[in-house]
Structures are given as C-alpha cells and as structure tokens.
Amino acid sequence: MDTSLTAELAQRLLTDTPTEQERAAARRGIKDYLASMLPVLFAVVPDEGRSAVLATFDAASSAENRAVVLGYFSHALDYDDYHAAFRGHPSTVILSSLFALCQHFDRYTPTDFLDAYIIGVEIAGRLGRAMGTRHYSMGLHSTATLGPLAAAAACCRWLRLEQTQTQIALGMAATQSSGLRAQFGSAVKPLHAGLAARSAVNSVLLAKAGFPGQVDTVVESFLTVFGFNVEQPGLLLDEWATPWRIIQPGLEFKRYPTCGGTHSAAEAAFVLRQSCLEQGIGDICQAVTRIEVSFPPGADTAPNIRMPRDGVEARFSLEYVIADGLLNGCLALDHYTAKPVNEVIAALAARVTRCPDHSAPADELDPDRRFHRVTLHLSDGRQLSHCVTRRETVSLYTDVEQKLAMSLVLLPVSLAAQFSATTSLDNSEQLRQLTSLLCI
C-alpha cells in the first residue's frame, strides 16, 4: 500500500533521533532566542504591542495564550534567527510552542526538548524547499504560514503523539496557515509568530485529545495551494536528516536588529564609511549628494519601507539602514525600537535611491545570489562604491554568547543571573527554571 506524504512525514519526525552535534546547535539556537526576546519580555526597550498582547492573551490561563505571548516577544525586535530554506524565522514559533507546552504538561527532559526543537527546524527547512520561492514573493510571510506546521511537528515529537494523531495535528496546523508580508514594519509581524505558535499548540492539543480530522493529503494540498506552481513535494522528504537542517544550512543568527534583507547593504555602508574616514571625509552628510543602492530585481520585497516614521518601520528600510551604517558604523538597537526615527539619519536616508540591477537574476529565482551595491556620489564629483553579497554576510560569525550577554546586562542583576544559570540546559531542573522565568 502506498504511503501518503503526510504519513511518511509523521513517521519520520516521530522516530528519527538527532545526535549531540545537532543538540549543541539547538542549545545555541535557544540562547539566540533568549537574546532576542528578553529586552521586550521585561520591557527594557519600548514596544508598542506589548501591553495589548499581555492584556488580550492571559499567559497564565492556557498553553495557547503562553505560545502567543512568547512568540510575539521573541520576534518583536526582528532580531531572532533566520533559516534560508524556510525563508523565515523558525525558532520563534517552534520554541515558543515548546516552552508553552513544557509548563502545561510539567515535562522538562532536556534531551527530548532539544530533539523536538531540532525536528521542528528540520521540518521548517524542508517545507521551505518543497514550497519553493514563489510563496514568499507572492506576499506571504513564511514564519506565519509554514511556521505552524514546523512547530506542530516539534510539539508532536515532544509529546510523543501517535502517528495518526500527528498526521491530524499537521493537517490542522496547515489549515490555520495565514500571514501577509504587507504587515512588515508593524507590530502585527511579530504577532504572526505568536499566532503561528498558538495554531501549533491548539492543533497538537486537539489531536492529542482525540479531535478528528483528515489523516492524509492535507500537507500535500497545502504545498499545492500555496506553492503557486513551483512546489516540489518530493523535497519534503528527500535526503532526510543528511545532514540535519539545523546543521546545514543551519540557523542564521542576526548581528543587527533589522530585517535580514538589509544586512548586506549595512555592511557595504560600514566599508564605505571607513573609506570616507580614510580619505579625510569627516562630515558624510555634507560630502554625499546622493546614494544609490542596487540589488537583484525583487530583493527589496521585505525591506520595502522607504520613509520610515519610527524605529519599527526603519528595520524594513534599506534607505534608513544604509544611512545609519554610513553615519555611525553600526546599527544600534536603540535606533530600531518603537521611537521616532533619528532626524539626521532620516535626512541622509532621503538621498538614497533604489536601482534594481536587471542584469542580475531575479531574487525569486535564486535568493542566495542576492547582493547590495551601495554607491556614494560625492559633492566633488567622485564616486565610492562597495558591494556585499548575501553569501559574504552569512559567512561572518555571529557571537551568540555575546549577543545574549548584551541582552542580559539590560536586566536586573539577580534576574540576569537566574537566566545565565539555565541556558546550558544540562538537566531537567534548568529547563524547569528557564520555563518558569519565561512565563511572566
């Protein structure tokens, strides 16, 4: 008898076991998750949606509400990890779902927790490959649309559901898929992550409780409906876990609190700033008359806000990020929170013009070949130009330990110490304590 894609996926995710190599990568992912979440969770940086989320979703009342709150907080700064094949942020949805269920079921086995997380990342990367690039380019937010299935898979593994229950849970997660990129630059984007985590949790809880649903064909239908004729369902299972997706291509950890689609442009701006300083150009605002940024067609679909009004919108503005990089040589978190934009940065950003390079392949065809070329036109007639590719950006190491330390230093000393004592997840008590700290 032929096995459906949904059934084979469920069987794989419930039985295959990662190794210590994958678990070490998962521990690093958890540290990055915490680094991205803690400043908003404990209100040490401004966030416009925090109060409304807490007022609407009482985290103490249900696992579903805890998942929404954790998902929102961990994605609120847009500082959390990214997975290239998934074309979104897997950990915010997966870990938020798992932590919510930890407390609900009073389960705290670190190895099982890490393995469930790894399974979730595996499914996330595979869903992205099988779906193809058009899903994102058509305006759908992969974190919100693919995230529920990846997180549901992780939760099914964590709770050791039966295979039939797992197939039903995956189908229910798929049917709740939604999320538009049109919400980028608003608090709804991180809410997408929270709602995706909620969808995963309620799908798994319903399936575990015996709720009926279609056992087969839903995952197949999901790929067909949302693939826009470029889906490749065979890639969902092809070469499973060889290597695990948390290892290759692995999670990408952000060095800057802005949309990943701005990072190569920022790094080009850093180089150009240094060139200006070396040539005795101290006042960049006075010396630069205009700035051009070129990229493959469609590579600005995520960072599409040209005139941001506040730091949240500025995360998705190529213009603002380039200007900030030129003026300051870094992208400070303080510039990308819910505060009005810096007027000096905004004035320089107004001189940036987007110039798609139509000689390059469209971003939809090969996102890995993305680049940003920033060109400064100086008042004396000279031009300075520098190009950074996505591959160059990804190849640079991100110190997750330092990133976490920078978030912890913002917290009260005693609270930071409590978190520091849990992050290695060496035993059940550490996982229990970490879960308790997150459930405010």
Tens digits of per-residue pLDDT, 39-95?
999 999 999 999 999 999 999 999 999 999 999 999 999 999 999 999 999 999 999
Q: What is the DSSP string of 111-144?
A: HHHHHHHHHHHHHHHHHHHHH-THHHHTTB-HHH
Copy the structure tokens of residue 135.
């899903």
- Asked if the model's pLDDT at residue 1 lies above 80, the reply is no
Query: Residue 110: is the preceding peptide bond cis (ω within 30°)?
Result: no
Task: Measure CA of the first residue to CA of the last residue in the chain; give whole Å.
Answer: 49
In tens, the pLDDT along 218-273 reads: 999 999 999 999 999 999 999 999 999 999 999 999 999 999 999 999 999 999 99
Q: Comparing 192-206, 263-277, 356-370, which segment has the lowest mean pLDDT?
A: 356-370
pLDDT surpasses 70 at 182: yes
Mean pLDDT of the region 287-309: 96
Mean pLDDT of the chain: 96
Amino acid 179 reads G
pLDDT tens profile 264-294: 999 999 999 999 999 999 899 999 999 999 9
Residue 303 has pLDDT above 90, yes or no: yes
Q: Mean pLDDT across the stretch 339-352?
A: 97
- Per-residue pLDDT for 366 more than 90? no
User: Looking at 68-82, 346-360, 361-375, which range is the least confident one?
Assistant: 361-375
φ, ψ dihedrals at 121, nearest 5°? -65, -40
Model confidence band, residue 365 (pLDDT cutoffs 50, 70, 90): confident
Distance of CA 292 to the CA centre of its chain: 28
What kind and span of H or E run contains 292?
Answer: strand 288-295
Q: Which residue has the tokens 């987007």?
A: 354
Tell me what percent of the residues of the chain surpass a pLDDT of 70: 100
Q: Which residues contact 196 (CB under 8 A, 6 or more apart)?
A: 71, 93, 143, 144, 145, 147, 148, 151, 179
pLDDT band, residue 205 (cuts 50/70/90): very high
At residue 392, does pLDDT exceed 80? yes
pLDDT of residue 2: 53
Residues 124-168: tens digit of each pLDDT: 999 999 999 999 999 999 999 999 999 999 999 999 999 999 999
In this model, does residue 368 exceed pLDDT 90?
no
Buried-state track 223-259, b at ≥16 Cβ within 10 A, e below 16: beebbeeebebebbeeeebeebbbbeebbbbbbbbbb
pLDDT for the residue 367: 86
Q: pLDDT at position 321, please?
A: 98
Share of the chain above pLDDT 90, in %: 96
Q: List Cα–Cα distances, 50 to 28, 72, 134, 182, in angstroms.
A: 26, 8, 32, 21
Q: Would you tell me how many other CB atoms lie within 10 Å of the CB of residue 424?
A: 12
